[in-house]
Structure 1
Amino acid sequence: MAVKRSGASRAATCCCIAAFLTACGGSGGTRGFPTVGIPPVTGAPPLQKLACDDSMKSRFAPDAATAVLMVKAFKKGDALLLTGTASPSTPVAQNDLCFVKLNVGPGNPGVADASSTSAGIGIEIWLPTAANWNKRIHVKGGGGWAGGTQGTLTGITPNSGSAGSASETAGVEGAVSATTDTGHAVSNGSFAMNPDGTVNTVLWKDFSGRGIHEMAVKTKALAKAYYGEDAKYAYWNGFSTGGRQGLKEAQANPADFDGILAGAPANNWTKFITTELYPQIVVQRDLAGVSITAAQHTSVSNAAINACDVVGGVHLGYVPDPAACRYDPTTDAAVICSADGGTNATAGCVTPAQALAFNKFWYGQTANGAVPNPAADNGFAAATAASQKWYGLARGSSLMGLAGATPFPISSDMVALELQDPTIATPSFLNATGNGADGWKSLTYPQLANAWDRGVALQTAFANINTDSADLSAFRDRKGKLISYHGLADTLIPPQGTINYYSRVATQMGGVAATQGFYRLYLVPGMGHGFSNGTSNASANPPLPTNAQLYELLTAWVERGIEPPVRVEATTLASASFPVVKSRPLCLYPLKANYTSGDPNLAASYTCS
């Protein structure tokens, strides 16, 4: 249910507007920040910096659409909560901080508490003390549908997934940080449909791009008003939806950020999310609605890993190069049930129809449910084949999030929005026309293909949510820097989509070498949807980078001109379960790690070529 936000302070005093016009998007300096000019000699005293108290509600008025909802000072060690009683798990302030909630209208009027009703874009901003500020802005992206509690008076957004929490960034790093609900509080796609079933173009616009742009503009303005000076650098840090948001900023608002870290970006939004429902349609149409069990998934996916993970005579436990993996369970007697002519008599055995279903999961959506022989096309090409609507997940990655007992909710929401029929979604999707009723179960292959096509055709109404423009010339020309990374065992977003996008950008921007001057991509074998093992093999323990490691590469590139290296070393963390530390180079795309000699589980045994 949407939470209505207070409209108080929307008509706040405007005496300070002129002082903040530049900070809200006026002419900028070399990095897209407003130039700090010398005030005219008028005899007027300089403006007083904002205090961390309720006076900010009347004194911070960058435009008529922006209202300060709350200001709260936290001391180091204070529990970070607005209501209720702290528990041992309640995060605490890592340093003295000023916490500010903003609302940026106009929102979307409608029935009170309806999912499609919004008071505006909620933004939370964390400001370290002046003494602790490192002169950076470092904001965080959202996840999923990117709704949240930013616009409420009762909740604090706890974290930003793989990018970490904004409060910790402000408290530990010393950077001003922020998050946004992109215009809605609900956690599913209900906000994006009007009560009559039509497209809610207002909230699609806020979700797709306006919410993140307003967060960038207002965070810069508030920092300048609070500290009395502009930030030197601004950074975006997001994963999944947050990765897509970072790409949107580079494409549509290239002056907002100097550096962007975009992990597993959820661009190509309608394409890959519609395809996320494809495994469920395969189950319904080919397997009579009986889902693959966890044991069957482990059996077949681990067999794929075992067939494709050998380097230097050693099984790595994860697939290092999914593009080269063409494992076909339909020809592997070791996974086929003995009753069907195979040699597997365990609960993890599969029928020939189920084995073929795995090939469909891995290949990705086709218009009629067909799948080519993996020996000829394993679905991992940089550009989709004519028969392929979009990519599937890589062999060896965990499929249970998409092919398990229930669909990934965003996928059924998205298909309901494309076909403008709420009943297609799961019951959590609420709308006056009719709530979700699991109508996705009856979809045929051609009907899902039609939904995919509708998603592309509706890009204007969806505010270009696909975020797939290959023209990054404005971002490049403003000296912006972009680092993207994607796990090759991602369990939700096929990494092939990121490879596809990077290849298109390189084609448009003058080739790979020219593109690498401002945009670099790293692919991470074995990494899932987050900094974790994404494979079906619980013992894989692949070497992974950290968000902090990649962020440091970005800041060094922006602030000191140090280019991210051709190879970045990823390591495992020693633990009781995995005492042996492994390492591996992550090679600058399109280079790959090639084994030379030595221990295949050590980075020194590889070259990037």
Structure 2
Amino acid sequence: MARPKQHPSPLLRPLPTLPPRAWAAGLLAALGACGGSDDPPAPPPPSPSATLSCDDSMKTAFKPDANTRVILAKAFRQGDALALADTPATPAPAKASQDMCLVKMVVGPGNAGTAGAPSTSPGIGLEVWLPTPANWNQRIRNLGGGGWAGGSQASATQIGNAGAAATAALGYAVGTTDTGHAIAGNGSFAMKEDGTINSALWGDFAERSLHELAVKTKALVEAYYGKPQQYAYWEGCSTGGRQGYKIAQEHPDDYDGYLNGAPAFNWTRFITNELYPQVAMQRDLGGPIAADKLRRVSAAAVSACDTVGGQHLGFIADPGQCRYDPTRDASALCAGVAGNGVVGTSTDAACVSLAEARTINKIWYGQTADGSAPDPQADNASGTTLASRQLWWGLTRGTDLSGLAGSSGTPPVARPFTIATDMVALELQNPAYATSSFINATGNGADKWKDMSYADLANAYDRGIALQAAFGHINTDNPDLTQLRDGGGKVISYHGLADQLITPAGSLNYLSRVADKMGGIEAVQAFNRLYLVPGMGHCAGVGSVSGSAGPAATADTVPLPAANQFFDALVAWVEKGTQPGPLMLKSADASVSMPICVHPQKATYKGSGSATDGANYSCR
């Protein structure tokens, strides 16, 4: 059944701005009703095409609450450059493909402090793009952010998310938020100037900004169009996927449907784990493994595990079944190096030592408190629950490791993922552990992470869990979705099985916990369905390296979701009650196809026909 339409609370609905004659007519009608006149009440004024004007008058006309102020309302005509006063000339800004209105708001109170300090904020910045009344499809489609979010939504002279205008051109009212801080891609905002935890901005980042975006977008839509939306949707990936789940957990009536890709829930757990590859290489080897060696071993893993029907696909369809172990691969080990029962034969410059092979196995297994990793034949980190000494899961075999185990130059210099170093600095309340991009009045980042032992990183992991209340409960790992289910909300989530940043095991673990809480996986599928996409990287594109045998992993060989394929399935589920089932994916040139199934079913080869033809698979 389609979900009943949700409307904003009347307490949140601003009064429409009416011309003086309309107010006068209303006043006369009210006086007549009170006995002030014997004349019949005047008829209500006709509904205007837009009850607010897209200009400076909106700053006083739209005032949904005392904390919210409009800082800009600007009309763009089709063909106008999507630019404000401080928009750089290069690269050239995109142009509006339809007429629309941009409204920018700030929701206080923010966090007081020194002007220019990362932790100083006037409040939560919101941007809403409004199609013309004639073009509006009566739907809201709010978009999530990435990484630490941040942006220019609270600026009257810069646009925070011009890309949202392209979605608005399709007929949707589209809102985005800076989550309460202006600095994009940096965690410095979450530490006060004295080095302590900035709980106010953690709370804005983790949850408050998301609910405010929903409430204010709905109020603005009703005030601008003179009627509420019929349906409201959330769409986001990575941080945006976490944001979707946070709203679904805490404010499920904010949206009718949620599309949550590669969700960054389990925030402190998986992000602390993202530093583990660098710490493991630092402790075991004294520095990073060269990029060509990582690629060489990952390529061997792909070709060891990508065969279906006797044919190399060029990507691993089911990484959970892959137990490739470079310590047992003579062709990967350098000539003369004795591995686990083999002697290396490779003379390639990208061959690995036994110590390097063991460290790569650690990276695939994921963080442990002591840096240990079991034999992949016994445990390849494919479980949905953590093993006894495992703190979190590593990336799947065959996935490009350069994002988390990256380096640059010769000899290689470590290039850690800065969100992970930021997170460790915040957990330990010491900016020195971060890289130099982390700024604080008590001292900036100084790469102290390089000195961390396995136990030190495990302590940071534990601190992240202990500090959840101060961090706005950023982990977003509550498995109780009862209110979402009972309110009729729907969630489609998806995760690439070759995600280079957020291991898909986190999505599997969360769904299993929801199933345990809410009556089993079949009961959960009534409102939340998960798709796992082989070969896909973080949110989009190919995340697998190319194998040492078979086709290269490219957009023409790896079938990936088409634009809006997941979103269209969500809309059909919400508005028509059509339950999403298997989705057929195609490569860019349509030469390869494969279905993806609703988890826990998997695309299973039927046993005959081409392995690159999706018709030869079924969901089992």
Question: What's 2:376 paired with?
Answer: 374
Question: What's 2:533 paired with?
Answer: 524
* Match of residue 388, structure 1, among 366, 387, 390: 390
Aligned residues: 567
* Match of residue 24, structure 1, among 12, 37, 40: 12
* Match of residue 474, structure 1, among 476, 479, 483: 483
SS of the residue corresponding to residue 159 of structure 2 reads coil
Kindly tell me: are residues 304 and 23 of structure 1, through their superposed partners in 2, closer, same or farther at Cα, counting changes over 3 Å?
farther
Of 43-52 and 96-105, more deviation after overlay is shown by 43-52
Q: What is the aligned-residue RMSD (CA, Å)?
A: 1.9
**Are positions 1:155 and 2:164 aligned together?**
no
* Match of residue 548, structure 1, among 553, 556, 564: 564
**Are positions 1:484 and 2:484 aligned together?**
no
* Match of residue 418, structure 1, among 424, 427, 452: 427
Partners of 2:116 and 2:527 in 1: how far apart? 44
Letter in 1 for 2:145: G
* Match of residue 573, structure 1, among 588, 607, 611: 588
Question: What's 1:214 paired with?
Answer: 212
Compare CA radii of gyration and give the structure with the larger one. Answer: 2
SS of the residue corresponding to residue 573 of structure 2 reads helix
Question: What's 1:30 paired with?
Answer: none
**Are positions 1:508 and 2:504 aligned together?**
no
Counterparts of 1:118-267 in structure 2, within 5 Å, are 118-158=121-161, 165-171=163-169, 173-187=170-184, 188-267=186-265
**Are positions 1:437 and 2:446 aligned together?**
yes
Alignment deviations for residues 281-322 of structure 1 (CA, whole Å, 9 cap, x no partner): 011100111x12221111100000011000000001111111
Alignment deviations for residues 82-135 of structure 1 (CA, whole Å, 9 cap, x no partner): 135756742111100000100000000011111001000001100000000000
SS of the residue corresponding to residue 483 of structure 1 reads strand
Counterparts of 1:576-591 in structure 2, within 5 Å, are 581-591=591-601
Partners of 1:94 and 1:314 in 2: how far apart? 45
Of 376-385 and 135-144, more deviation after overlay is shown by 376-385
Partners of 1:94 and 1:465 in 2: how far apart? 37
Structure 1: 5+ residue runs without aligned partners?
1-18, 27-38, 160-164, 575-579
SS of the residue corresponding to residue 400 of structure 1 reads coil
Aligned-pair CA distance for 1:506:
1.2
Letter in 1 for 2:612: N
Question: What's 2:35 paired with?
Answer: none
What's the % identity of the aligned pairs? 55
Aligned-pair CA distance for 1:25:
8.1
Question: What's 1:592 paired with?
Answer: 602
Aligned-pair CA distance for 1:433:
1.1
Kindly tell me: are residues 265 and 85 of structure 1, through their superposed partners in 2, closer, same or farther at Cα, counting changes over 3 Å?
closer
Kindly tell me: are residues 211 and 40 of structure 1, through their superposed partners in 2, closer, same or farther at Cα, counting changes over 3 Å?
farther
Structure 2 length-normalised TM? 0.89
**Are positions 1:300 and 2:309 aligned together?**
no
Partners of 1:72 and 1:23 in 2: how far apart? 26
Letter in 1 for 2:292: A
Partners of 2:398 and 2:206 in 1: how far apart? 32
Letter in 2 for 1:78: D
* Match of residue 66, structure 1, among 68, 78, 86: 68
SS of the residue corresponding to residue 556 of structure 1 reads helix
Kindly tell me: are residues 446 and 97 of structure 1, through their superposed partners in 2, closer, same or farther at Cα, counting changes over 3 Å?
same
Question: What's 1:3 paired with?
Answer: none
Kindly tell me: are residues 235 and 40 of structure 1, through their superposed partners in 2, closer, same or farther at Cα, counting changes over 3 Å?
farther
Partners of 1:149 and 1:223 in 2: how far apart? 22
Question: What's 1:316 paired with?
Answer: 313
Question: What's 1:607 paired with?
Answer: 618
Letter in 2 for 1:507: D
Question: What's 1:460 paired with?
Answer: 469
SS of the residue corresponding to residue 254 of structure 2 reads coil
Alignment deviations for residues 190-230 of structure 1 (CA, whole Å, 9 cap, x no partner): 00011121110000000000001100100000000000000
Kindly tell me: are residues 506 and 426 of structure 1, through their superposed partners in 2, closer, same or farther at Cα, counting changes over 3 Å?
same
Kindly tell me: are residues 436 and 50 of structure 1, through their superposed partners in 2, closer, same or farther at Cα, counting changes over 3 Å?
same
Kindly tell me: are residues 86 and 438 of structure 1, through their superposed partners in 2, closer, same or farther at Cα, counting changes over 3 Å?
closer
Letter in 2 for 1:568: L
SS of the residue corresponding to residue 403 of structure 1 reads coil
Question: What's 2:412 paired with?
Answer: none
Alignment deviations for residues 158-206 of structure 1 (CA, whole Å, 9 cap, x no partner): 46xxxxx3111111x2010011000001120000011121110000000
Partners of 1:502 and 1:154 in 2: how far apart? 42
Partners of 1:374 and 1:25 in 2: how far apart? 58
Contact 1:488 1:527 in 2 (8 A): yes
Contact 1:398 1:491 in 2 (8 A): yes
Letter in 2 for 1:24: L
Aligned-pair CA distance for 1:24:
2.6
Partners of 1:95 and 1:546 in 2: how far apart? 23
Contact 2:203 2:471 in 1 (8 A): yes
SS of the residue corresponding to residue 404 of structure 2 reads helix
Question: What's 1:91 paired with?
Answer: 94
Partners of 1:348 and 1:21 in 2: how far apart? 62
SS of the residue corresponding to residue 402 of structure 1 reads coil
Contact 2:8 2:215 in 1 (8 A): no
Question: What's 2:349 paired with?
Answer: 347
Alignment deviations for residues 500-539 of structure 1 (CA, whole Å, 9 cap, x no partner): 0011111111111111111000000000002201011182
Alignment deviations for residues 313-359 of structure 1 (CA, whole Å, 9 cap, x no partner): 00011111111000000111100111524111112101000001110
Question: What's 2:274 paired with?
Answer: 276
Contact 2:13 2:64 in 1 (8 A): no
Partners of 2:478 and 2:403 in 1: how far apart? 29
Letter in 2 for 1:305: V
**Are positions 1:564 and 2:580 aligned together?**
yes
SS of the residue corresponding to residue 330 of structure 1 reads helix
* Match of residue 448, structure 1, among 446, 457, 465: 457
Letter in 1 for 2:347: A
Aligned-pair CA distance for 1:41:
7.0
Kindly tell me: are residues 203 and 101 of structure 1, through their superposed partners in 2, closer, same or farther at Cα, counting changes over 3 Å?
same
Contact 1:192 1:203 in 2 (8 A): yes
Contact 2:105 2:154 in 1 (8 A): yes
Letter in 2 for 1:542: V
Kindly tell me: are residues 268 and 558 of structure 1, through their superposed partners in 2, closer, same or farther at Cα, counting changes over 3 Å?
same
Partners of 1:280 and 1:590 in 2: how far apart? 33
Partners of 2:432 and 2:229 in 1: how far apart? 48
Question: What's 2:118 paired with?
Answer: 115
Question: What's 1:336 paired with?
Answer: 333
Aligned-pair CA distance for 1:581:
1.5
SS of the residue corresponding to residue 323 of structure 1 reads helix
Letter in 1 for 2:76: F
SS of the residue corresponding to residue 401 of structure 1 reads coil
Partners of 1:599 and 1:235 in 2: how far apart? 38
Letter in 2 for 1:262: N
Contact 1:23 1:224 in 2 (8 A): no
Partners of 1:306 and 1:109 in 2: how far apart? 55
Letter in 2 for 1:285: R
Aligned-pair CA distance for 1:154:
2.1
Partners of 1:193 and 1:385 in 2: how far apart? 33
SS of the residue corresponding to residue 384 of structure 1 reads coil
Partners of 1:542 and 1:61 in 2: how far apart? 50
Letter in 1 for 2:225: Y
Alignment deviations for residues 229-255 of structure 1 (CA, whole Å, 9 cap, x no partner): 000000000000000000001001111
